[in-house]
Structure 1
Amino acid sequence: MELATLCVFVASVRVVPNRSQFFQYETVSLDCGEPGNSSEWRVKRKTSADINKECSIAWGKRNGSQCLIDDLYQSDSGVYWCESGDGECSDAVNITVTGGSVILESPVVPVREGDAVTLRCTSRATSSANLAADFYKDGLLIGRSSTGDLTLRNVCEADQGFYKCNITGAGESPDSWLAVRAEQPESVRSSLANILLPVVGACLSLASLMLLCLWRSHKETDTEPTLYSTIKPGAT
């Protein structure tokens, strides 16, 4: 998603409850607050009805850096993010509101490689925790569960994709995008820094030396005396 304004990404919007799919008429809270940060954060969104609209102006109820939507409608489906008065912003998250009977509860923010992620298939029609469900990734069946839960262990980039679930007799959930973020180990980051810093330093030294040579060459050209011929006209 391309934000409507240019900003520096420094924070993450927090969604409570932490999932990307909601039933119609549910309540969701989005929080932009960063502890100790005096900047004034505000939640904004892009939906079919609102483009780059701020919370409490055309939708939601604002309380400081938080935004509350009491009754979700399908028209609230869209992209949400945070912005501050200092030109900072958060990553964007996608929220889907369905009028159907089944949702897939999955993390709304990217998960890190190596994490374990639990997907939960939930039905509005029943409160039973033991619901047999089928789970799909990019349209392909990846597993069945008698409890309605499916855990992906040690996730990697290959696990990134669109997920949905189906409960027999209840229905199918919308698709949700599961993003997996690669995390470089500290040792790798340190090694890269140890390699890149000397290379950058050498490049800067070489550039400085070239500039110095050019300056000296230019100076010598300006100060070089002009030689005139001393031969008199008509002399042999």
Structure 2
Amino acid sequence: MESPSLLRLLSSLTLRPSTAQLFYGESLHLSCEEDSAGWTVKRNTTIETMSECGRNWGKLTASFCRISFTLPSHSGVYWCESREGATSNTVNITITGGDVILQSPVLPVMEGAAVTLNCTTRSPSNLPADFYKDGSLIRTESARQMTIHNVSKSDEGLYHCTISGYGQSATSRLAVAAPPTTKALPTAKAPPTARAPSTSMSAPTDSAPLLSPVRLLCHLVVFCPYCISTLLLVSLWRQRSAGPEPPVSMATVQGLDDEYDDVIADVTTEHDF
């Protein structure tokens, strides 16, 4: 079995005409909308309480209730109720025997919306209407119609209107409801961008330092003796191949090695690597 709190959300009372005030002798249609199975219309008036449509008043068809001829005694609070005892929203209805009514919404108006109040007479009239809120005059409208733009909580209150020569309407309450809140949807995350594979060797840049002239000179001093020695050996080999030559003495070779060691020692002393 569904809970009463859930059933309350499944039905709402709607009126046709949708106005909080009516002239006596008009017809009124009330219905329990949406999931209306098992719902009926009830009311509280000055002469009865918890009275169900179809018993002592109105004609009930399924969840639809019709009052063909309204009377001042029909003024009161109306609502929908289920067999389990769950209730819908309540609506205050005023049936007047006077000549002026204020046509205003029967349900709360959402904040930020616009609402129009009409001051209507039983017989046609071209006279302006004065509109009041909580007993204080708001303004006079020649078209007998007042629109409130961008409704806020401060606009809640008791409203009525007057037309000279016709009289004053009954008072109706204008209710303002906060707009429903919506849960923000989670924002989708951007897919991760692919990274270029890293390499062990970085590309050379223009800022890479060049070899200094001193280091270049040291390299030449170190490697030149090797080149000279190689050339001497090649030359001796060619001469030996061409014919017998006087043998190279060990003193000559030893002299070359000593000169090479002296060069290396000088370079090492002047430039410490």
Structure having the higher strand fraction is 1
> What residue ranges of structure 2 are gaps of 5+ in the alignment?
186-273
1:175 maps onto 2:157 in alignment: no
1:63 maps onto 2:61 in alignment: yes
Asked which structure has the greater RCO (Cα within 8 Å, sep 6+), the reply is 1
Query: Who is 1:22 aligned against?
Result: 22
1:141-152 to 2 correspondences below 5 Å = 141-152=137-148
Deviations 1:156-193 (A, max 9, x none): 1000000000111111100000000012442xx449xx
| Alignment check: 8 A CA contact 2:37 2:63 kept | no
So what's the TM-score if we normalise by structure 1? 0.72
Query: Who is 1:135 aligned against?
Result: 131
Query: Who is 1:104 aligned against?
Result: 102
So what's the TM-score if we normalise by structure 2? 0.63
Deviations 1:125-171 (A, max 9, x none): 22x4x441000000001111111100000101000000000111111
1:1-236 to 2 correspondences below 5 Å = 7-8=4-5, 9-10=8-9, 11-34=11-34, 37=35, 39-126=37-124, 128=125, 130-186=126-182, 189-190=183-184
Identity of aligned residues (%): 48
Structure 1 vs Structure 2 CA RMSD: 1.9
Structure having the higher helix fraction is 2
Q: Aligned pair count?
A: 181
> What residue ranges of structure 1 are gaps of 5+ in the alignment?
1-5, 192-236
In 2, Cα distance between equivalents of 1:185 and 1:114: 14
Query: Who is 1:209 aligned against?
Result: none
| Alignment check: 8 A CA contact 2:100 2:120 kept | yes
Question: Which structure has the larger Rg over C-alpha atoms?
Answer: 2
In 2, Cα distance between equivalents of 1:104 and 1:67: 24
